[in-house]
Amino acid sequence: MTFVDLLVETRRLLRETPLACESLQSRYSRILVDEFQDTDPIQAELLFYLTGKNTGETEDWTQRDPRPGSLFIVGDDQQSIYGFRRADMRVFNQVKALLSGPEGRNALQLESNFRSLSPICEWCDSAFSELFAEGVDEGVQAEHQSFSPTRATGGEENHIRVLEVPGVSWNPAEDIARKNARQVARFVADAVESDEPVLDGGETDGEPVPG
């Protein structure tokens, strides 16, 4: 059996056998799903079968309203660009709408970026805002959401290094990744040998890191 076969047969079991649903629900009272943007349509159905109150509903899985507190999902619709294993952003939006309700009271938007300095966030916003606009009207791409940085810049002047990968005939992924890896390694080696710090003490909790 393939991975998809397992999903299909599990869906059939849970959809057509209320006793199986009730047994699993009694065993797993709460389900947390991370990286929900990678969920495919069948997996979304399974979540509602495993948490839905009306286990006798066999025609429409969206009518299996999850029990309060039984289903918690975390996801980033902008990451749906990867299309991991039949993932579909329309499924992401459908499930989000079903769980959040008409007023969106059960949905919480997390916008703060605790990882990157503000110049990096600003550069990413400028680089990707137009790219993310493509496909929004067709429902296959999420709208771009600007970063909300929380980390101070620390006074560094240079935050971004753009490494352009030379053209590779036919664009083979492995060759491009190999060239890019060599570029990054070369940059890191040059930075380590440099006398100028890349980050100041405030960003390293100690002595400046040698460039």
Separation CA 140–CA 90 (nearest Å):
7
**Tokens 């349509």 sit on residue:** 41
What is the pLDDT confidence band of residue 210, given thresholds at 50, 70 and 90? very low
Residue 112: strand pairing partners:
148
Closest to 159 in 3D by CA, of 112, 193, 203: 203
What is the pLDDT confidence band of residue 179, given thresholds at 50, 70 and 90? confident
Q: Cα–chain-centroid distance for residue 99?
A: 18
Tens digit of each residue's pLDDT (9 = 90 or more) over 118-166: 888 888 898 888 877 776 776 667 888 888 999 877 665 556 777 777 7
Q: How confident is the model over 23-49, as a mean pLDDT?
A: 94
CB < 8 Å & 24+ apart, contacts of 83-89: 84/38, 85/3, 85/38, 85/40, 86/4, 86/40, 86/41, 87/37, 87/38, 87/39, 87/40, 88/40, 88/41, 89/37, 89/139, 89/140, 89/141, 89/142
Tens digit of each residue's pLDDT (9 = 90 or more) over 46-70: 999 999 998 888 889 999 999 999 9
pTM surpassing 0.75?
A: no
pLDDT for 145 equals 85
Q: What letter does residue 28 receive in the DSSP assignment?
A: -
